[in-house]
A and B are shown apart, each in its own frame.
Chain A
Amino acid sequence: MKIRDNKAWFFVLPALLVMGINAFVPFITVINYSVLDIFRGLPAIWVGLENYQVVLGDNLFRGAVVRQVQFSFLILLIQIPLGVAIALALPKKGWTATASLVALGFPLLIPYNIVGIIWRVFTRADLGLVPLIFNFFGYEYNLAQNSVDAYWTVVAMDVWHWTSLVVLLAYAGLNAIPDAYYQAAEIDGASPWRTFLYVTLPRLRSVLTIAVLLRFMDSFRIYTEVFLLTGGGPGTSTTFLSDVLVRKAVISFDIGYSAAMSLIYFYFILIISYIFFLVLTSIGTGDSNQPPSG
């Protein structure tokens, strides 16, 4: 069990120092902005929660929230099991393992704008491979005009782009499980499925928590790839929250309004993440209120 020792703060201090300057102070600044009405050249006026009210009443914003929540949950539903399954299937050592790991890194390392651009060409009705494949199976694929096509293409693009992250985390996590656990399960007569359920999954818990939280946060803030692939359309079918935030901030150039929206956005992520965090770290241990541990 953990030792109670407040001197452990010293270990944490370097990290805190950096984070304090980088995170805490700027954050307070933003909160400050969100309750002000700021126009170029004029002194700032306190407007209380008015900015927040305007944001929450906006239809575009609301539509995007719903769309965004759906999208993120869909992403999690696909990427987490898929990532774990692939990690389980990967070779554990040898050149095939190395080759697989390196190959998995490729999609992750491409800047988001290039990802968007590549997929744009990849799915263009006249130039891309995707429409060709669909036409072969008899389906008229059209990204620019069909909302369903657009939405699922965005999903496919995200799966292509980010599943590797889950795979790498799960793979590392799997390799950190001592052999003795598997040996004990074998001696206890556990089937492969039960071994997975009672040995593998529990020991992957910390890694999976990170994967879920990361993918949730990042998919909730997705912007560049989608913008370059579909521009948010057709219509608003692929307009997610980041898009709305950027549009309003750029168009209206209203700092107070943007700050308020940023914060609402942030609280959304915060609350849902916290719920995930609580749920995932207390499954099965009967020990809640603990940071994830292996």
Chain B
Amino acid sequence: MAKIELVNVSHSYTPGEYAVRDINLIWDDAVSSALLGPSGCGKTTLLKIISGLLQPTEGDVLLNGQRVNELRPKERNIAQVFQFPVVYETLNIFNNLAFPLRNRGYPESIVKERVREIAELLELTDQLKVNANSLSAAEKQLVSLGRGVIREDLSAILLDEPLTVIDPHQKWQLRRKLKQLQQRFEITMIYVTHDQHEALTFADQVTVMDTGIALQTGSPQDLHNRPEAPFVGYFIGSPGMNIFPASLNENQVQAGDFCYELVSDLVNQVNGQDLKIGIRPEFVEISQAKDSTGLECIVDAVHLTGTSKILDLVGAGLKFKARVDETANINAADTVRAIFPTEKTMIYQNDRLLAPVQQEILL
């Protein structure tokens, strides 16, 4: 059982260039979480720092409150599953699973017992004698996972894009197993991926990263409804959030023809630097009635996604996307009216969320 904390962690591989910067994150015991971000954002680096394969150039790594920067991976009771399945090719499944226990000197009777238990959970019992090399990629990953959970003193499992080479139709099976194991053993699981779908369906807590910085940590709903940085809004959701540059007029923020009045306590915080407004396509309200409120715009294109329609809209001085139900009878070149509802529209300053809009002014 473990609570993992990163305090002011930064790491540079080459002096002056940071792979990750000022990371302050907490993973509570038994949480299932994901590190989500595009390639090169530093998530693998962070994973290595947590597992001990890498020592951060700055900051502290804490396990259950204790600083473990100097501890080697095997002393941290952490397991890791890699992108490409790693198995010991000259050993069969039984011996693969037994490997971590035997290395630590467990008596053979306990080894046998644990291996059978894990094998059953992984549904590999009838393949124990099979040589690990002849397994499919998904089975190999299961074995990797097995080697991790077989240790009773396990604190956390770290997974580095483990589904990368798995066939699509086996991916969901593997994910299901992962979730099962995580819940059963109540292990902290940190899942690194660039696939938001994987992260959002697997994890209860998601941390979005970009260029070495942890932008936001929260539940999938939080990330969806209240992205704290434009990048988070843009990265999550498909399509991602609409983001527009905005300008400040005294106590009003304006993007295109959409104008919002700032409530009094916000006025002090706004200094006009790098203002942006964002709204998710699924929150944009579209109405075809001629007399509805909302700003007029023209449908440039309609994309079908199977369960909905995505409209490319041009109007009110902006270009943006909106999502409507698939039954909506809207076609290209139609004129519709769009509303950005207040609580769903976000104001960003210097790439940090100021607040959702509370009052709209129509011009």
Contact = CB atoms under 8 A, between A and B. Distances in A.
A236 to B, nearest CB: 43
Nearest to B92: A286
B201 to A, nearest CB: 25
Interface stretch (B7-15, B72-80, B300-308): B72-80
Interface string B41-83: 0000000000101000000000000000000111000111011
Contact of B53 (A186, A283, A285, A286): A186
B80 A191 contact: no
B82 A285 contact: no
A287 interface: yes
Interface string A276-287: 000000011111
Max chain A CB contacts within 10 Å: which of B82, B90, B92, B134? B90
A152 interface: no
A199 B99 CA distance: 12
Contact of A183 (B53, B91, B131): B53
A187 interface: yes
B103 interface: yes
Contact of B83 (A180, A186, A198, A283): A180
Contacts of B100: 188-189
Given A180-B86, A183-B80, A287-B131, A188 B91 contact: no
A1 B91 CA distance: 18
B54 to A, nearest CB: 10
A187 B78 contact: yes
A178 interface: yes
A68 to B, nearest CB: 33
A285 B133 CA distance: 7
B147 interface: yes
Contacts of A191: 103
B319 to A, nearest CB: 44
B74 A199 contact: no
A180 B83 CA distance: 9
A38 interface: no
Given A180-B83, A188-B147, A190-B103, A287 B88 contact: no
Contacts of A287: 131, 133-134
B73 A186 contact: yes
11 contacts: A180-B83, A180-B84, A184-B82, A184-B147, A187-B80, A188-B100, A189-B104, A190-B99, A198-B91, A286-B92, A287-B133
Nearest to B105: A189
B113 interface: no
Of A184, A186, A190, most B-chain CB atoms within 10 Å: A184
B128 to A, nearest CB: 13
Interface residues of A, number: 22
Nearest to B84: A180
A194 B103 CA distance: 9
B285 interface: no
Interface string B93-110: 000000110011000000
Interface string B257-296: 0000000000000000000000000000000000000000
Given A189-B74, A287-B131, 13 more contacts: A1-B134, A178-B84, A186-B53, A186-B73, A186-B74, A187-B74, A188-B99, A198-B91, A199-B88, A202-B88, A202-B90, A203-B89, A286-B131
B254 interface: no
A274 B225 CA distance: 67
A181 interface: yes
A203 B133 CA distance: 12
A186 B144 CA distance: 13
B53 A198 contact: no
A198 B102 CA distance: 13
Contacts of B78: 187
Contact of B80 (A1, A184, A190): A184
A122 B115 CA distance: 61
A187 B103 contact: no
A180 B51 CA distance: 13
Nearest to B85: A180
Contacts of A188: 74, 99-100, 103, 147
B79 A187 contact: yes
Interface string B222-264: 0000000000000000000000000000000000000000000
A33 B125 CA distance: 61
Contacts of A194: 103
Given A189-B104, A286-B131, A202 B89 contact: yes
A287 B90 CA distance: 10
